[in-house]
Amino acid sequence: MSRENFHKACKVSELKEGVGKRVYLDDEEIAIFKVNEEIFALSNICPHQKARKIHEGFIEDHGVICPLHGWKFDLATGNLAPDRRGLKTYPLKIENGFVFVNVIKKELSW
């Protein structure tokens, strides 16, 4: 069963292509990225040593690379190459020029 708990995160116009934005919503620290005009929301906390740096990551091949440890996470799924712990991802929607993020987290697939 899915619950909706959408919170206004930012204006779409605030997002720069390939540059992360850190937001805090309902006790969650979230990194939002716009890549090829698509928007993604993931946990900003890397599972390796709990570094709060994903929003500072580098975009490469539909993934974000943690700037501290070099781990690469898929933007859509949060998955880390094969069978390793990934990032939480968050459903989102765009309405009236704003990004709304659902802080009810998607389940990880590992």
Q: Are 19 and 106 in contact (CB under 8 A)?
A: no
CATH number 2.102.10.10 given to 6-102 = yes
pLDDT, residue 110, reads 46
Q: In the predicted model, what is the mean pLDDT of the chain?
A: 89
pLDDT, position 107: 55
Mean pLDDT, residues 11-18: 97
Whether 101 and 23 have beta carbons less than 8 Å apart is answered as yes
Q: pTM of the prediction?
A: 0.87
88, 104 contact by CB (below 8 A) = no
Q: Is residue 97 exposed (0-12), middle (13-18) or buried (19+ Cβ within 10 Å)?
A: exposed
For residue 10, what pLDDT is reported? 98
Domain boundaries, the chain: 6-102
Confidence band for 24, pLDDT divided at 50, 70 and 90: very high
Query: Tens digit of pLDDT for each residue in 36-66?
Result: 999 999 999 998 888 899 999 999 989 999 9
Most confident listed range (45-54, 71-80, 90-99): 90-99
Residues 30-38 have a mean pLDDT of 97
